[in-house]
Chains A and B, each alone.
Chain A
Amino acid sequence: GAVVSQHPSRVICKSGTSVKIECRSLDFQATTMFWYRQFPKKSLMLMATSNEGSKATYEQGVEKDKFLINHASLTLSTLTVTSAHPEDSSFYICSASFQNYGYTFGSGTRLTVV
C-alpha cells in the first residue's frame, strides 16, 4: 500500500530558529501534498496544499512567509517553520494523494519551541 514517511517525528528547537519537516511518498508519486496542523484534542486543520513544481496554496489565516512549503519533486514536500516561536508548537501532519491511492497520511511531527 501507499506509504508516506514524515521526519522528524519529534523536534525541539529554540525560539527564533527555523525547523524543516520532510514528507516523502515512498512507493508512489504524490501529485498533491497537504500540510495540516493539529492542536491537542482537536481535529486536523489544513494549512496548505502543494502541487509539484508550483507554489503552495495557503488556507486563510496561515502565514505563507512563516510556513514555507516546497514541493520540488513528486515524492518530497517540505514544510519549514521560520523564526519559530512557542505558539508554533504543535503537531504537524502531512498527507499525499495520487489517483487511486487516495489520501495517505504521515505519522506526524511534534514540534516544541522553547
Chain B
Amino acid sequence: TQLLEQSPQFLSIQEGENLTVYCNSSSVFSSLQWYRQEPGEGPVLLVTVVTGGEVKKLKRLTFQFGDARKDSSLHITAAQPGDTGLYLCAGEGADGLTFGKGTHLIIQP
C-alpha cells in the first residue's frame, strides 16, 4: 500500500505570510496532484506534476515535484484569506489515487 505523509495537518497564519506544505512518500508515483477542497464541496484540482524536479506556478502558488518522484511541496506566497481551505496531495499509482491526510489552512485577515 502506498502512503503519503502530508504536513502540517493544520496551519493558521496571518494574511501576507508565506507557507509551505509538504507531501512525502517512500513510493514512486507516476504523477502527483494537488487539490483544494472547500467545506461541503468536492476537491478541485490545482495542478498535476509528472516529471521529477518539475516546478509549476499558479499565481502565488508554487508546486514542486521531487527528483525521485516521491515527494512534493506546495508553497504559497503572501497568503490571502481566500486561500483558506483543505489542501490535499494525491499520488497516482497503478491502483489510482492515494491521498495524503490533508492540510487545513486558515489565513487570518
Interface of A is mostly: strand
Are B101 and A42 touching (Cβ within 8 A)? yes
Give min CB distance, A61 to chain B, whole Å. 12
- Expressed in whole angstroms, the Cα–Cα distance for A6 and B41 within the complex equals 11
Give min CB distance, A52 to chain B, whole Å. 15
Sorting the interface of chain B by its residue count into under 10, 10 to 19, 20 to 34 or 35 or more gives 20 to 34
- Expressed in whole angstroms, the Cα–Cα distance for A9 and B39 within the complex equals 12
Q: Is B42 an interface residue (CB 8 A)?
A: yes
Inter-chain CB contacts under 8 Å: number: 53
Q: Name A89-114 residues within 8 Å CB distance of B.
A: 91, 93, 95, 97, 102-108, 110
Residues of A within 8 A of B104 (CB): 41
Tell whether A107 pairs with B42 under 8 Å between CB atoms, given A43-B88, A43-B100.
yes
Are A93 and B95 touching (Cβ within 8 A)? no
Interface of B is mostly: strand
Residues of A in contact, count (CB < 8 Å): 24
Tell whether A108 pairs with B97 under 8 Å between CB atoms, given A42-B102, A43-B102, A102-B48.
no
Are B96 and A34 touching (Cβ within 8 A)? yes
Tell whether A108 pairs with B42 under 8 Å between CB atoms, given A43-B88, A43-B101, A103-B33.
yes
- Expressed in whole angstroms, the Cα–Cα distance for A46 and B100 within the complex equals 12
